[in-house]
Amino acid sequence: MDPRPRVVIIGSGFAGLYCARALKGAPVEVTIVDRRNHHLFQPLLYQVATAGLNPSDIAVPTRSFVRKQENLEVLLGEVAGFDLARRRVFLADGGEITYDHLVVATGATHSYFGKPEWARFAPGLKTIEDALEIRRRILVAFELAEREPDPARRDALLSFVVVGGGPTGVELAGALTEIARHTLASEFRAIDPRRARIVLLEGAPRVLPSYAPDLSEAARQQLADLGVDVRTGAMVTGIDAEGVRVGEERIASRTVLWGAGVAASPLARELGAPLDRAGRVKVEPDLTVPGHPEVHVAGDLAAAVRSDGSPVPGVAPAAIQQGRHVARDIVRGLRGEPRRPFRYVDKGILSTIGRGRAVGEVWRFHLRGVVAWLAWLLVHIFFLIGFRNRFMVILEWAWHYTTYGRGARLITDTAEQWQLVAADAERRAREAGVAPAGPEPPPTSPAARAPEAASGDRPPMVH
């Protein structure tokens, strides 16, 4: 039996994976537990959702990435809870894992501000599955519009509403305009994709509210130049299958995308620690759970604050720094050295809006346009894990820049897709006064295998 202390890391996101890497060579045994077998580069997830990249371009199997780290093992499993007194991690399948040090870094999920019923109509963007679902909805909307003779229904299919003017919403809205105005412009016969309407709704007074006011205004102007209908101070009061309600106004849209809010992974509640309004753990200055110095929380799950009392932002660089800090503190503890408080080094923020368009702040310099866009490209290539991923993304971006092409435009076969086609056929038959036959889904389709999944509802996913 190995006498070395065991460090169990829950989650293989930025915080978890960089913590594990920083423990390479340390006198500990490291175990990563995650319900997924890959590390996902979330900042580029919107590129998968808008058909710019394939999932494999921004994800790497966790085992392949850490295979040379001899003091590390990877377990595929879903964590159900903890016993902090006995230092146990409980898995959903009934298994248990003991630890000497625990690092919980399970990230965040979507927040619909008390309206979970909106989730089925407005998918968020946190996982590869989310990105593929959004991609499918976008592409199917154009396909159904091509067959739709009714002008009002066709306009609803060609109207895309993005809720939330943060980085995710801004990036989605900008990418949607490029798809409609350039990528699909000459590929349809009955419709003109360039007539697609993209609406960005933000409840705050300005888009990118966490950015400096001049950068927010620059982002708004760049979006407007692309043709995005940007609405600030717009509070969404309802979402359904036919559109969005903003106050007393209704926007007819068959494709609504959610980028408005995030909440901590529900697993935070299992730690029994104080939580903030977003469900994040209120950690000590050294990122440990109050009363449990052997339990660390990092990444989006941690409600960490800077020395001036302002919150540490939920961005990838912060998660990476937290993961490394936790690893160093664990090693310090093994040496009998005192732990140190976490100090976040703000290297800047960047948000892309479209080809040659972006805004950002790097070392207090405010960047706009092409300069910000080039900085965004370099930063994201640098942080991508794996040579193959970097090489493929560079090729994809070079091709996209020169041609406006998006090569990952596959519509995956899903139950909801067949429901839409069947409903469309039934409506056409009803209007024509004939008995609706409706297309039968093929035997191998998800609709045939699991009709109960046709609603499109998915329960919240937790690590």
The boundaries of the domain holding residue 243 are 116-260
The sheet with strand 357-362 has its strands ordered as 349-354, 357-362, 365-368
247 contacts: CB under 8 Å, gap ≥ 6: 234, 235, 237
The span from the CA of 380 to the CA of 362, in Å, is 14
How many structural domains does the chain have? Answer: 3
Do both 270 and 228 map to the same domain? no
Q: Where are the beta strands (DSSP E) in 341-404?
A: 349-354, 357-362, 365-368
Query: What pLDDT, on a 0 to 100 scale, did the predictor assign at position 406?
Result: 76
pLDDT in tens, 60-96: 999 998 999 999 999 999 999 999 999 999 999 999 9
Do both 305 and 422 map to the same domain? no
Output the pTM of the full model: 0.86
The span from the CA of 209 to the CA of 461, in Å, is 28
Give the residue numbers annotated as catalytic, written as ranges. Answer: 171
Do both 85 and 27 map to the same domain? yes
Do both 253 and 123 map to the same domain? yes
Residue 105: half-sphere exposure toward Cβ, Cα within 13 Å? 33
Neighbours of 223 (CB within 10 A): 24
Do both 124 and 186 map to the same domain? yes
Domain-located, residue 21? yes
Do both 216 and 314 map to the same domain? no
Query: What pLDDT, on a 0 to 100 scale, did the predictor assign at position 234?
Result: 97
- The SS3 call for residue 93 is coil
8 Å CB contact between 13 and 45: no
Report CA Rg, the chain.
23
Q: Which residues of the chain have pLDDT under 50?
A: 1, 438-463
pLDDT in tens, 354-412: 889 999 999 889 999 999 999 998 888 887 776 567 777 787 777 767 677 776 787 87
Do both 88 and 104 map to the same domain? yes
CATH number of the domain bearing residue 302: 3.50.50.60
- The SS3 call for residue 241 is coil
Domain-located, residue 386? no
Domain-located, residue 121? yes
pLDDT in tens, 424-440: 666 666 766 665 554 44
434 contacts: CB under 8 Å, gap ≥ 6: none
Do both 124 and 249 map to the same domain? yes
Do both 135 and 238 map to the same domain? yes
Domain-located, residue 163? yes
Residue percentage of the chain with pLDDT more than 70: 87
Query: What pLDDT, on a 0 to 100 scale, did the predictor assign at position 411?
Result: 84
The span from the CA of 216 to the CA of 134, in Å, is 26
The span from the CA of 411 to the CA of 133, in Å, is 9
Q: Which of 340, 299, 329, 287 is nearest to 28 (CA)?
A: 329
Residue 192: half-sphere exposure toward Cβ, Cα within 13 Å? 2
Query: What pLDDT, on a 0 to 100 scale, did the predictor assign at position 321?
Result: 96
Do both 308 and 181 map to the same domain? no
Domain-located, residue 53? no
198 contacts: CB under 8 Å, gap ≥ 6: 160, 162, 173, 176, 177, 180, 227, 228, 229
What angle in degrees, to the nearest 10, is found between the helix axes of 14-22 and 316-334? 30
Domain-located, residue 361? no
Q: Which of 260, 294, 319 is the last residue of a domain?
A: 260
8 Å CB contact between 131 and 55: yes
Which residue type, as a one-letter code, is found at position 311? P
The span from the CA of 64 to the CA of 257, in Å, is 33
pLDDT in tens, 176-187: 999 999 999 989
Dihedral of CA atoms 274, 17, 72, 343 in degrees, nearest 10, equals -60
What angle in degrees, to the nearest 10, is found between the helix axes of 167-178 and 213-226? 20
8 Å CB contact between 254 and 143: no
Query: What pLDDT, on a 0 to 100 scale, did the predictor assign at position 446?
Result: 37
Q: Which of 304, 319, 334 is the last residue of a domain?
A: 334
Do both 120 and 256 map to the same domain? yes
The span from the CA of 237 to the CA of 246, in Å, is 6
8 Å CB contact between 123 and 117: no
Q: Which of 260, 276, 292 is the last residue of a domain?
A: 260
H or E, element range at 350? strand 349-354
Domain-located, residue 60? no
Do both 91 and 136 map to the same domain? no
Domain-located, residue 385? no
